[in-house]
Amino acid sequence: MRIPGLERDGSRHKTFNRRLALLGGGKLTLAAVLMGRMYYLQVLESDQYHMLAEENRISMRLLAPPRGLIMDRFGRELASNRQNYRVVLIAEQTKGVADTLDRLAHIVPINSHQRRRVLREVKRKRPFVPIKVAENLTWEQFARINVLLPDLPGVQPDVGEGRYYPVGVETAHIVGYVSSVSEADLTGDPLLELPGFRIGKNGIEKVYDESLRGKAGNSRVEVNAYGREIRELARQDGQPGHDVVLTIDADLQEKISRRLRDESAAAVVMDIHQGDILAMVSAPSYDPNAFNLGMSTKAWRTLIQHPRKPLINKAIAGQYPPGSTFKMLVALAAMEAGIAGPGHEVFCNGVIRLGKSKFHCWRHRYGGHGMMDMKQAIAQSCDIYFYDLARRIGVDRIGAMARRFGLGEALDIELVGEREGLVPSKDWKLAVTGVPWQLGETLITGIGQAYLLATPLQLAVMTARLANGGIAVRPKLSRHLKPQDDAEGAGEDADDDRTSQNDGNNIRTTDEGAPPIGVSAANLQIITDAMSEVVNGRRGTARKYKLDKELGMKMAGKTGTAQVRRITKAERKAGGKLGKGTPWKERDHALFTAFAPVGAPRYATAVVVEHGGSGTYAAKLTKDIMAEVLRADPLARSAMGRTSHAPNNATDRPNNADNADNTGNKERKT
């Protein structure tokens, strides 16, 4: 017998049980999925999530490495690192940033620009992040801050490392300077984004910047959820940068700089055999430390507006007509071409005609030089003689000889801003101006004017190649670039005949001998004998500037006076000289090239004095410079091994001279 109520209750019970089973199964399934996920995250992926947690807890920070040193050939530091005393501010520890800055300003100078910068950074950065207020403090300022620290809440004294140039002004154009990283300097290297990091901006500092920079270190710091530093867990210091050892003799560089201090001039001294640049001076100069410390707008404007252009390295970027210092190459070209020998004679009466034009000798007022052979034409700098030679051999032969002696090309010295100068040719003029070459321009080229331009470095190289027997020596500025961790082979003499070059971090060293120019040794001897006659002869143009007898050595050289504008008829009638009332920029450039000692030459030098008036004035300066070179004799000191203080491992656009229209009838006393 069926009971209707019981049947309904049984049906509901079965339905409930099925639903309960489904619900329980779903829960078990969800629990299984959850447990599986937890197992996956906590067991299988535990290493990854542990690493992510550590990355949130641990902050990796770059540490700037010590910058490599720059030293002269005897180990004297030209660019070094020294402690940088500075003061930083932590905003959250102050009662008021403005009030703290007011208190601090009574101890160290804080100008309005620094104050605005600090207040701007306080708003931009987290309150616990240190903000630099001032750096490069004196020890007295740093000590006062430490003493008064209880009255300066939020202020923290700090000691870092900064670049310092012990020689400073005297080597500024060679060593260069470092300065803050600009947006244009960013290359993706994280070092460049470090606050306060500095890179080379000029000179050797820029050319070898990557090698001097070194490799960054790192510090593992524990931080909280807000990024606040709790403690340092580990530290790995960076690898110091490489040292750069230059060919420069810093003592000699200083002496020459002092001699040229009142001039707008350049001087280069080099080893005629190896090409070592022993001194390279450009005057006036500037203080490279000012760029590192931070230069004011007023100071920067003063430098760039200075009429004598102290920021330009005139030794490599100043381009000047070589004047009569070029005459040796004209004579050599004539002898090599077989057109004229040392016995070739020309009568100088002070003037020659070419068509309707007159070309004068500097001695035209006195009736000229009379009969001249090649030796006396160089010694007395007779213009008429070289007009004749230039007309006979032509401008292209003259230019070819000039290029063999290093003119008209960049010499790849290890500095930025080197200019090529200019050696003209017929094809060059036609391509540039569209006007054919004129014979009168050939005559003017014969006395080193017209379109000719050369740098003081090129003139020094030309003189070195004349004196060394016609070997195509090239100038070099670095003796070797020495890794910090390489103590072997650190002796300097091992690298005397090698040229080091830097391409990023790759250092290439070559010790190949320079090739011969291919000029007759007999013809070179004629030229060098004539250069000796310039200084030591009875009628040489530089006879007043022989070396002092106590040195026991002789100097050979050649005067040069390069015009920067044409001489008017009135000036020529007055003797062809520009008077003292002539504006400075219109006066002639003074040049002198020299080598010494005569008989066993070792040193070559070139001196250019902008608007110095006469080549004899440059000869006077050169006498003093060469005397210092011979007394110091840096090459002999290297050969004797007097370099014991050189450390093995340390932890440590161009000047366009005012050459207004250098074409036309231009000849001056040289």
Please give the positions annotated as active site.
324
The CA distance from 364 to 359, in Å, is 10
Instruction: Return the H-helix or E-strand segment holding 24.
Output: helix 4-39
Question: Tokens for 45?
Answer: 């992926």
φ, ψ at 487 (rounded to 5°): -90, -5
Give start and end residues of each alpha helix (H) in 468-576. Answer: 521-536, 569-573
- Count CB-CB contacts under 10 A for residue 536: 18
The CA distance from 3 to 215, in Å, is 95
Contact 354, 667 (CB under 8 A): no
Return the SS3 of 500: strand
Burial of 486 (0-12, 13-18, 19+ CB in 10 A): exposed
Handedness of CA 208, 212, 213, 215 (dihedral sign): positive
Handedness of CA 377, 328, 283, 167 (dihedral sign): negative
First to last CA, the chain: 148
**Widest pairwise Cα distance in the chain:** 162
Is-cis flag, bond preceding 342, omega within 30?
Answer: no
Contact 541, 548 (CB under 8 A): no
The CA distance from 245 to 247, in Å, is 7
Sequence-separated (6 or more) residues with CB below 8 Å from residue 476? 247, 274, 275, 276, 277, 413, 414, 499, 500
Return the C-alpha torsion angle 136, 137, 143, 145, nearest 10.
-110
Instruction: Return the H-helix or E-strand segment holding 114.
Output: helix 112-124
C-alpha Rg value of the chain to the nearest Å: 37
Contact 78, 250 (CB under 8 A): yes
Burial of 180 (0-12, 13-18, 19+ CB in 10 A): middle
Return the SS3 of 331: helix
